[in-house]
Amino acid sequence: MDKEIRQASHWALAFRPTGTPTAENFRLETAELPSLQDGQVLVKNIVTSVDPYMRGRMNDVKSYIPAFQIDEPLTGGAIGEVIESRSAALPVGTMVSHFLGWRTHAVLGEGEATVVDTRAIAPATYLGALGMPGLTAYVGLMKVAEFKEGDAVFVSGAAGAVGQMVGQLAKQFGASRVIGSAGSPEKVQHLLDLGFDAAFNYKDGAVAEQLKAAAPEGIDVYFDNVGGDHLEAAIATLNAFGRVAMCGAIAQYNATEPTPGPRNLGLAIGKCLTLRGFVVGQYAQFGGEFREKVAPLLLDGSIRTDTTVRHGIENMPNAFLELFTGGNRGKMVVEI
């Protein structure tokens, strides 16, 4: 082992943000790596993930995933190569996925790493279409929203890592119509190129009016990545017995005041709507089913996804902040 590899870099939370985070909320540090114990490996990270859910972890609140701690290294998805091993199951050269991102190197136990095959599938794909965002799209659509063939589906934040997958999966599984919202003309056109039947720029006017024009016969499923005016518009447009998979609410992640709920929530009663929130970790048992059904669609090109890549450990905070200004199309990753 090269002596210099015993020095590794990681990002820590410097202080908690109020409202929109800035680069000052993060601090790059260097630390000594411990010697390996039996069953452990040293992994050199190749690509790491930044995701919108990480914004919630910057707050000191109890949630479905532990909050980041001040002055402690941040965590998140990563793909790396085993470069030192005291594990027979994970020899040197093995490619693995794990949850100790936001750093150049990670010391892992056997149970903390999952072997991945990067010969036919790019490493970043395991952080996107075949990773947490892909599984989120699959279970949100199929298990939470209980999608049925012939449903009309609306996806907000449709140009993101999850949204792209939701729309294309819905088309593959027999949706009658798929509509997406995005934040620029270029992203709208890209959704159409991916096979969405209609798409609109939410910045061009009232979401409710644009959705009604795109779905004159209503929608049956709404996959919510945004909340706010998108959720209100969807409630107005949903047909009787419509279903909402509440995945994210990026419109209010950086809010400093309580965000009002949809003004038309009462419509859910007469329409017999189902609004169901979910977190992907509660649906891990469907991971095998998801990979069995989705991997072939990715390999044969039936589903296409985008990856926005930033380079260098020093650029991780900026890559994360870009998620809230529309800087990504598809999955945002950082190549270390």
Q: What is the pLDDT of residue 202?
A: 97
Q: Are residues 275 and 162 in the same domain?
A: yes
Say which CATH number the domain at 163 has: 3.40.50.720
Q: Are residues 211 and 147 in the same domain?
A: yes
d(CA 259, CA 261): 6
pLDDT surpasses 50 at 31: yes
Give the residue carrying structure tokens 């270029």: 186
d(CA 327, CA 336): 19
Q: Quick one: average pLDDT of 177-182? A: 98
Q: Are residues 239 and 262 in the same domain?
A: yes
Report the domain count for the chain. Answer: 2
Q: Pseudo-torsion of CA 119, 125, 129, 135, nearest 10°?
A: 90
Q: Does residue 244 lie in a domain region?
A: yes
From the list 76, 60, 7, the residue with the least C-alpha distance to 317 is 76
Q: Are residues 137 and 265 in the same domain?
A: yes
168 contacts 333 by C-beta, under 8 angstroms: no
Q: Does residue 298 lie in a domain region?
A: no
What is the band of 4 on the pLDDT scale with cuts at 50, 70, 90? low
Q: Quick one: average pLDDT of 162-182? A: 98
Q: Are residues 137 and 272 in the same domain?
A: yes
**How far is residue 8 from each of residues 95, 110, 133, 282, measured CA to CA in Å?**
19, 20, 28, 33
Q: Does residue 287 lie in a domain region?
A: no
% of the chain residues with pLDDT over 90: 92
State pLDDT tens for residues 318-327.
999 999 999 9
State pLDDT tens for residues 264-313.
999 999 999 999 999 999 999 999 999 999 999 999 999 999 999 999 99
pTM of the model: 0.92
Q: Does residue 292 lie in a domain region?
A: no
Q: Does residue 271 lie in a domain region?
A: yes
Domain that holds residue 77: 7-128+305-335
Taken in order 307, 194, 213, 220, the sign of the CA dihedral is negative
Q: Quick one: average pLDDT of 214-226? A: 97
Q: Are residues 159 and 90 in the same domain?
A: no
Q: Does residue 296 lie in a domain region?
A: no
Q: What is the pLDDT of residue 238?
A: 98
State pLDDT tens for residues 234-269.
999 999 999 999 999 887 878 778 777 899 999 999
Q: What is the pLDDT of residue 260?
A: 79
Q: Are residues 115 and 190 in the same domain?
A: no
State pLDDT tens for residues 101-137.
999 999 999 999 999 999 989 999 999 999 999 999 9
Q: Are residues 157 and 257 in the same domain?
A: yes
Q: Are residues 265 and 162 in the same domain?
A: yes
Q: What is the pLDDT of residue 1?
A: 46
What's the chain's average pLDDT? Answer: 95
Q: Are residues 123 and 196 in the same domain?
A: no
Q: Are residues 323 and 205 in the same domain?
A: no
Q: How far is CA 80 from the centre of its chain?
A: 19
Burial 220-232 (b: 16+ CB within 10 A, else e): bbbbbbbbbbbbb
Q: Are residues 180 and 58 in the same domain?
A: no
Say which CATH number the domain at 323 has: 3.90.180.10
Q: What is the pLDDT of residue 268?
A: 98
Q: Does residue 268 lie in a domain region?
A: yes
State pLDDT tens for residues 41-76.
999 999 999 999 999 999 999 888 999 999 999 999
Q: What is the pLDDT of residue 317?
A: 98
Q: What is the pLDDT of residue 195?
A: 97
What is the band of 5 on the pLDDT scale with cuts at 50, 70, 90? low
Q: Does residue 266 lie in a domain region?
A: yes
